[in-house]
Amino acid sequence: MTKVLELHNITKRFGALTANDDVTLTLDQGEILALLGENGAGKTTLMNILFGHYAADEGHVKVFGQELPPGLPRAAIAAGVGMVHQHFTLAGNLTVLENVMLGSEPLTRLTSARGAARKKLMQIADRFGLPVKPEAKVSALSVGERQRVEILKALYRDARVLILDEPTAVLARPEAMRLFETLRDMTKEGLSLIFISHKLHEVMAASDRVAVLRGGKMVAERRTNDTNPGELAELMVGRKVERPVRHDHQIGAPVLVADKVRVADGGETRLDDVSFTVHAGEILGIVGVSGNGQAALGALLSGLAHPASGSLTLADQDVGHLGPRGMIRAGAGRVPEDRHSEGVVGELSLWENAVLERLRTPEFSRRGFVRQGAARAYANDLIKRFDIRGAAPDTRIRLLSGGNMQKLILGRVLSNGPRFVLANQPTRGLDEGAIAAVHAELLAARAEGAAILLISEELEEAVALSDRIQAIVKGRLSEPISADEADPQRLGLMMAGVWTEDDHAA
Amino acid sequence: MRLERRAHVPLHLVILAPLAAIFAALLLAAGLIAAAGVNPLTAYGEMLTGALGSRLSITEMLTRATPLIFTGLAAAVAFRARLWNIGGEGQFFVGALVTAWIGHSLGVPGWIGIPLLMLAGMAAGAALLAGPAFLRLRFGVDEVVTTLLLNFIVILFVGLMIEGPMRDPLAFGWPSSVPVDGDFRLPDLVPRTRLHIGLLFAIAAAGAVWLVLARTVFGAETRAAGLNASAAAFAGISLPKTIMGVALLSGALAGLAGSVEVMGVTAGVTTTMSPGFGYAGIVVAMLAALHPAGVVAAAVFVATVFVGADAMSRATGVPSFIADVIVALCLLTMIVALLFTTYRVRR
């Protein structure tokens, strides 16, 4: 088989850090290769070298047998390499066609050849099965559609090798599966693909071959058919990682009770007739396709939204009207959906973030002054107890990895001995090691009798952690089912809004 | 070329940035001075001796720095919380006007009256910024527009007052308000100069602002809200309360600038009593990287330019407007310098 792409002995250093260490990788015609590795393993660096964003310190890149000059994205594009970045690089105020054409025409041209471009775009869209509306404004498109535009942008520049950096990071599960089907079809049209991922199930589902990077080194290559998720996880992390297992135990009394809650936002109903109960020592999982009301549910339980009708009680206290501080005082701990935008203030230090929610408690302030000594000591305690790595109390929080950031958030929530914990997408974007740590902490809190509501888009996670599961669809909740009864098919139906007649009785 | 965010900004860059910005601004202004037909080195030499060359000139410079410290602190406090208070000039004038108005006929001893008048000036400045802050919180009205436009309204209002109800009959037709009572004039810091103890108040205010920002719950909440409003809201920090608190503090500081200037220097209010203290305060705050200690140093620099430019103008004939040009250029160059301290350039 012909090699469409060869990376030979690539080494790249950033100061003291060796991001890529003697990495060799090849790609065959029509193949889908998964580049697997934890955050910081050097995947993105490697692809940036291939695409010419960085110049390698050692080694070289060949595309269709021709050596690429280092550090020239233009040369990579001309050779037929296209890259789809994790964070989209589209102009929202322009149309799809304009975005695709952007940068592909010489500046010296006075008129823009829209007609021809449009024809070419539609041909490509048709051939690769990527339907788009060329005149639609990008800002009006869904995330999945935007990604399609990114891919078309690369194909429009005649890419024959496509690199996708974490393509599913922003997609819901069904969208992701659709994307992989599309990618599979594209290989039949002669494209070769590399996608970067740290999600094992995706790699297993979508790739022909897997290359595993760890600490900048290529540690293994497997044909996907000859391996299994367990082996890949171990290769990726470098040791055996097992997610902790939930053990059955006695469930206690109801702690958090929502009764027929409706939440509206600017006249639009976000949650409708929602009822659920979380008991002491229980994890209730809420599964669903993203955008079905999880955000409103999270806001409600965080104290940022309030019921328009119905009631929310926490340990027999009506908490529907309480703000974040009131919720915390009532015994709630909250892990937000997006740790960067809601969980932490990146430019503040670890200790400031640790006490952010409780600045006004006597523990951390006196007569309006912050008790810095107490706060730093508390932060130190969290670092030790929750194994937050590479950090001191005065470290700026944005320098922490996602996993360590999440450990801090969990730590500040759990060290407070909460009666109720909201865990909203607690492992999104984390690598295997960090996921296992977060799961262990949640299960430990459960064992100590906390009532936990877990909102998750990862079915494996919801099934593994939850005692009971409810699905959220268009702002409504299904009746709960026991985790033992939760098979993928049933959950899939529930998430599609089909729940059986007798479930409707209550 | 790519910009890469620095993990950590080293201290020497923090200090170097404003110095480099000032150097660049002076270099750019040198072109204009040369265009006016004067050797820039001669001009800058005159400027330096004009501001720092004698005891008198130094006291004059420090007199000018005093209101700049207050307005610089006002801008720094607001900008830290992403409240873009461009209305320092207007707040300065209402502070001055209220001080003169009350201070003209207040029948109490000086040691009670002076603090009282300072509080009155602060209240006036705070009240003036409370309006735009409320409009921003309630209706999302951009405070840049409202605070900026209020400046012109306030200055026209001052003009109305000193031509009308507050006109000083003893000023021989010179447009000035009635003066504050002699008991409420701030004592001189250096005898036979204009330098008054207001400078000490300004330095004390810088210390107080630092303490509030760095050590109090209010300061911590302000910082969190300014850096990441949604995370602050999630943590239960009330954004309206924080913004309003910041607005009151910022407005009060700018109002205090006007109050102290009236009691310390001018006695009465005139529409020309400020060469743009409010606007220059924005530059001072930026040059200080919004740090209270830096504000004192930056205010001294801007005051040096203002006072020195007058002397340079007399000696060389270059219009003293060059001072405004230099100060304005400093704002632009400082913004560029901040980019280079926050980011690293990579090829």
**Residue of A465, A463, A459, A355 lying closest to A412 (CA atoms):** A355
| A190 and A290 part of one domain | no
Q: A418 with A330: CB under 8 angstroms? A: no
Mutate to test the interface with B, among A12, A349, A356 (most CBs of B within 10 A): A356
Q: Which one is predicted more confidently, B344 or A6?
A: A6
Confidence of residue A489 (pLDDT cuts 50, 70, 90): confident
Nearest alpha carbon to residue A241 among A225, A254, A230:
A230
Residues of A in contact with B221 (CB under 8 A): 359
Given CB atoms, is B173 within the 8 Å cutoff of chain A?
Answer: no
Domain boundary among A204, A237, A270: A237
Instruction: Tell me the shortest Cα–Cα distance from B8 to chain A, in angstroms.
Output: 9
- Residues A398-407 as b/e (b if ≥16 CB within 10 A, e otherwise) read eebbbbbbbb
Domain span at A228: 3-237
Q: Residue B263: which domain range?
A: 2-346
Asked if A334 and B223 come within 8 Å (Cβ–Cβ), the reply is no
CB contact under 8 A, B234 and A365: no
Residues of B in contact with A346 (CB under 8 A): 227-228
CA distance B230 to chain A (A): 5
Is residue A302 located within the same domain as residue A214?
A: no
Q: Which residue has the tokens 């599913």?
A: A168
The stretches in chain B having pLDDT less than 50 are none
State the CB neighbour count (10 A cutoff) for residue A489: 8
Confidence of residue A431 (pLDDT cuts 50, 70, 90): confident
A279 and A223 in a single domain? The answer is no
- Residues of chain A with Cβ-Cβ distance to B237 below 8 Å are 356, 359
Nearest CA in chain B to A52: B347
Question: In chain B, which among 177-216 make CB contacts under 8 A with chain A?
Answer: 215-216
Q: Which residues of A touch B215 (CB under 8 A)?
A: 369-370, 372
Q: Please provide the size of chain B in residues.
A: 347
Q: Answer whether A79's CB lies under 8 Å from A35's CB.
A: no
Could you tell me which chain B residue has the CA closest to the CA of A364? B217
With CB atoms and an 8 Å threshold, state whether A343 touches B232: no
Q: CB B220 to CB A370 under 8 A?
A: yes
pLDDT above 90 for A75: no
Point out the least confidently predicted range of A59-68, A487-496, B30-39: A487-496
CA distances from residue B105 to B117, B178, B183, B257 in whole angstroms, order as listed:
12, 10, 11, 21
In a domain, A386, yes or no: no
This model of the complex carries an ipTM of 0.85
Most B CBs within 10 A among A327, A338, A355, A359, hence the mutation to make, goes to A359
Pairwise CA distance, residues A159 & A79, whole Å: 8
pTM of the model: 0.81
- Enter the DSSP assignment of A68: P
In-domain check, residue A494 = yes
User: Is the Cβ pair B231, A334 closer than 8 Å?
Assistant: no
| Confidence at A1, pLDDT banded by 50, 70, 90 | low
The pair of three-digit structure tokens given for residue A166, joined into one six-digit string: 């974490």
Would you place residue A505 in the very low, low, confident or very high pLDDT band (cuts 50, 70, 90)? very low
Around Cβ A220, how many Cβ atoms within 10 Å? 17
CB atoms within 10 A of CB B147: 29
Task: Determine whether the interchain pair B236/A346 forms a contact, defined as Cβ–Cβ distance below 8 Å.
Answer: no
Residue pLDDT, tens place only, B47-70: 999 999 999 999 999 999 999 999
Same domain, A326 and A447: yes
- Band of residue A506 on the pLDDT scale cut at 50, 70, 90: very low
Question: Does the beta-carbon distance from B220 to A325 stay under 8 Å?
Answer: no
Q: Report chain A residues whose CB lies below 8 A from the CB of B220.
A: 352, 359, 370
How far is Cα B196 from Cα B266, in angstroms, rounded to an integer? 11
Residues sharing a CB contact under 8 Å with residue A169, sequence separation 6 or more, in sequence order = A86, A429
> Among A182, A209, A237, where does a domain finish?
A237
Closest-CA residue of B relative to A340 is B231
Point out which residues pair with A82 in neighbouring strands.
A162
Please give the residue of chain A at the shortest CA–CA distance from B234: A342
Are the C-beta atoms of residues B63 and B253 closer than 8 Å to each other? no
Residue A414 has pLDDT above 80, yes or no: yes
* Nearest by Cα to A360 from B132, B123, B237: B237
- β-bridge mates for residue A10, sequence order: A23
Indicate the residue of A303, A342, A352 with minimum beta-carbon distance to B230.
A342
**Among chain A residues, CA nearest to B211:** A369
Q: Answer whether B227 sits within 8 Å of A345, measured CB to CB.
A: yes
Size of interface A-B (CB pairs under 8 A): 68
Count of Cβ atoms closer than 10 Å to residue B31 Cβ = 10
| Of the candidates B286, B292, B313, B340, the residue with the CA atom closest to the CA atom of residue B43 | B313
CA of A365, closest CA in chain B: separation in Å?
A: 7
Residue A136 exposed, middle or buried by CB count within 10 Å (0-12, 13-18, 19+):
middle
Burial class (CB in 10 A: 0-12, 13-18, 19+), A408: buried
Nearest by CB to residue A359, choosing from B8, B220, B230, is: B220
Task: Return d(Cα B218, Cα B241) in angstroms, integer.
Answer: 10
Distance from CA of A396 to the nearest CA of B (A): 9
Structure-model confidence comparison of residues B232 and A15, the more confident one:
B232
Distance from CA of B162 to the nearest CA of A (A): 42
B217, B227, B236: residue with CB nearest A347: B227
Q: How confident is the model at residue A194 (pLDDT cuts 50, 70, 90)?
A: very high
Q: Which of A40, A137, A146 is nearest to A98 (CA)?
A: A137
How far apart are the CA of A336 and the nearest CA of chain B, in angstroms? 8
Report the C-alpha gap between B343 and A247 in whole angstroms.
49
**Where is average pLDDT lowest: A14-23, A61-70, B254-263, B304-313?**
A14-23
Domain presence at residue A439: yes
> Mutating which of B8, B227, B228 best tests the A interface, going by the most A Cβ atoms within 10 A?
B228
Q: Which of A206, A237, A268 is the last residue of a domain?
A: A237
pLDDT (tens digit per residue) in A339-393: 988 999 999 999 999 999 999 999 999 999 999 999 999 999 999 999 888 889 9
Residues A180, A91 share a domain = yes
> Contact B59/B192 with Cβ under 8 angstroms?
no
**CA–CA dist A312, A282 (Å, integer):** 18
Please tell me what DSSP assigns to residue A356.
G
Residue-wise pLDDT tens digits, B75-104:
999 999 999 999 999 999 999 999 999 999
Q: What's the pLDDT tens digit per position in B98-107?
A: 999 999 988 8
Dist CA A466 CA B301 (whole Å): 64
B236 vs A324: CB contact, 8 Å cut-off? yes
Same domain, A56 and A159: yes
Q: What percent of chain A has pLDDT over 90?
A: 41
A356 to B227: CB separation less than 8 angstroms, yes or no? no
Do residues A72 and A140 share a domain?
Answer: yes
When CB atoms are compared, the residue of B218, B230, B235 closest to A357 is: B235
Q: At what angle do helices B88-103 and B277-287 cross, to 10 degrees?
A: 130
Q: What is the CATH number of the domain that holds B35?
A: 1.10.3470
- The nearest alpha carbon in chain B to A299 belongs to B234
Number of domains, chain A: 2
d(CA A378, nearest CA chain B) in Å? 17
B218 close to A (CB below 8 A): yes
Find the angle CA(B18)-CA(A399)-CA(A167) to the nearest 5 degrees.
Answer: 115
Q: How far apart are CA A346 and CA A376, in angstroms?
A: 17
- Tell me what pLDDT residue A229 has: 86
Maximum Cα interatomic distance, chain B, rounded to a whole number of Å: 69
pLDDT at A487: 84
Cβ contact A344–B223 (<8 Å): no
- Whether A408 is in a domain gets the answer no
Q: Is the same domain home to A219 and A331?
A: no
B160 and chain A: CB distance < 8 Å anywhere?
no
Q: What are phi and psi of B23, to 5 degrees?
A: -60, -45
Q: Mind listing the pLDDT tens digit for each residue in A78-106? A: 899 988 887 778 888 888 998 888 877 77
In sequence order, which residues have a C-beta less than 8 Å from that of residue A259 and are 6 or more positions away?
A275, A310, A311, A312, A313
Tell whether A194 and A287 lie within a shared domain: no
Identify the DSSP state of A11.
E
The answer on A42 and A85 residing in a single domain is: yes
Q: Which amino acid is at B331?
A: L
Contact B233 A370 (CB under 8 A): no
Check A345 against B8: CB less than 8 A apart: no
Nearest CB among B215, B236, B238 relative to A369 is that of: B215
Could B215 and A348 be called an inter-chain contact, meaning their C-beta atoms sit closer than 8 Å? no
Instruction: Give the nearest chain A residue to B342 (CA atoms).
Output: A347
Into how many domains does chain B fold? 1
Q: What is the domain-level CATH number for residue A161?
A: 3.40.50.300
Res. A289 pLDDT band, cuts 50 70 90: confident
**Residue-wise pLDDT tens digits, A143-186:** 778 888 988 888 888 889 999 988 877 676 677 888 888 888 88
* Residue A325, in any domain of the structure: yes
